[in-house]
Amino acid sequence: MYREALWRYLRFIQETRRQKDARSENAEDNATRDGSADNETTSDDVFHDLTQTSNIPPAHSTSNTVTDIQGFRDVEDNFIPKEVAVLAINATITGHWIMRPPYPFGELPERTRRENNWLTRNYPGIEWFDGDVNPIYFTIHLLFEKLREERPSNFEKLIAISGNVSEKGLGLSATDKQMLVERVTIIIHAAASVKFNNSLKYAIFANTRATRDICILAKSMKNLIALIYVSTAFAHVNEPFVDEKVYLPIADWQKIIEIVETFDEHTLNIFTAKCLDYAPNTYIFSKNLSEKVIQDYSSSLPCAIVRPPIVTSTLQEPIPGWIDNVYGPIGLYIGAGKGIIRVAYVNETSRIDGVPVDIVIKVVIIVTWKVGLTTYDHSITDSAPLVVNCTSLKYITYEVTQNVSFSVINEVPLEGIVWTPHLISTQNPVILYILTILLHILPAVLIDLILKFAGHQPT
């Protein structure tokens, strides 16, 4: 299953590249025949040179269309927002572009339509810059291409709002909160911080307190029929067998929230060590408490809990092999496939419980439907939340996934390979440290020296 999905996706990407190269060659041939100059700008251009921006609307204005997105063009013709390029990317800049409003999606170049470089005001980790974006631009991504072709009117229903689950009250404005209260009928709470090394304070704020605030908001919604909480199959790692029920939590979630809101950082560091006697990391600890939050509010809300394990790339829908993160084994195999990661501390016989993200989404939709039916059936008086374990029946080992991944990578190599793909797995700490020095640190130092001698600044 994993091999088929990965192989189909890599083939899909390879074919997309060929088509893009062919279109680029055709465009160059047409430009030569038409006698068009490289620096000529036509009325159909989406991006305009910085010197032609006298009529640009004011920055930080708000409207229903793209008013002003300033950014840079990199060597691969990717559009990079200004603040991102300056603060985060340190990329080679070849031009400064301004996108003029309004441009219907169909008039954008095909390459621009397919690239994932459109940001909303609440894009994770990035403050808003120079304007406001219509929801149709928010969804410019290959992932939504099929939906856009079959049901383009669905995008008109999207309303992007600014929020932050790590803030008290979810960081919502009073206007947005009132709109949610009036219009929302279904809540799928999947937002979470999944980093295992987060501080206890941040993990509790983003995962546990946010779940409580979601429930408080849900209680004020006039037409709510379902609240689905996406937990994790590893929320109860101390249980030998995890049944589809809510277990007793590690601690009292109300007291834990009060503690992290009150104590100073030094005291919290000591307290974190005590908490991790009962959970392997702050992520598991916070998700364990969050399930109890849902159970406590289930007497007044139509709730359900879905527990997926490791969420992997799509199996089929809407395209095979799509994924938007490098968490867990995905990051390990991408790094190894590019030749960056050469050695890892891994037990190859360990079993992996992974489920494709499109399967998880289908389960969430079915559970939502089930809870909705229960909400309308007043004969059902059970207030306990529905719990569904979305896990696989069969397991595979790290060794199997490693062999499958490298066999596919050999057929369809990844972009940006720096070394022949290979991964050494070991459980011996001494061997790990020695190989890390030989295969990671020394090659990195050598490459940095070569870059310096060539007049480049290592990044």
Domain ranges of the chain: 67-139
Mean pLDDT of 131-156: 60
Name the residue type at position 356: P
Q: Which of 312, 308, 153 is nearest to 242 (CA)?
A: 308
Distance (Å, whole) CA 129 – CA 119: 10
Q: What pLDDT does residue 49 have?
A: 31
Higher pLDDT, 373 or 118: 373
* Summary mean pLDDT of the chain: 72
Q: What pLDDT does residue 177 have?
A: 87
Does position 30 have pLDDT exceeding 50, yes or no? Answer: yes
**216 pLDDT tier (thresholds 50, 70, 90):** very high
User: What is the pTM (predicted TM-score) of this model?
Assistant: 0.66
Task: Provide the terminal-to-terminal Cα distance of the chain, rounded to the nearest Å.
Answer: 38
Distance (Å, whole) CA 193 – CA 62: 29
Which has the minimum average pLDDT: 108-122, 231-245, 286-300?
108-122
Which has the minimum average pLDDT: 49-53, 135-139, 245-249?
49-53
Do residues 142 and 116 lie in contact, with contact meaning Cβ atoms separated by under 8 Å?
yes
**CA 302 to each of CA 146, 148, 183, 215, 287: distance values in angstroms, whole numbers, following the listed order:** 32, 32, 17, 10, 19
Mean pLDDT of 232-258: 88
Higher pLDDT, 274 or 152: 274
Positive or negative: CA dihedral 317, 323, 329, 332: positive
Q: What pLDDT does residue 368 have?
A: 92
Q: What pLDDT does residue 100 have?
A: 37
Mean pLDDT of 366-379: 80
Q: What pLDDT does residue 430 have?
A: 93
Distance (Å, whole) CA 173 – CA 161: 9
**CA 256 to each of CA 59, 201, 262, 290, 293: distance values in angstroms, whole numbers, following the listed order:** 42, 9, 10, 11, 12
Mean pLDDT of 340-364: 88
Which has the minimum average pLDDT: 84-88, 158-162, 263-267, 296-300?
84-88
Q: What pLDDT does residue 378 have?
A: 57
Range among 129-138, 185-194, 413-422 with highest mean pLDDT value: 185-194
Mean pLDDT of 213-237: 91
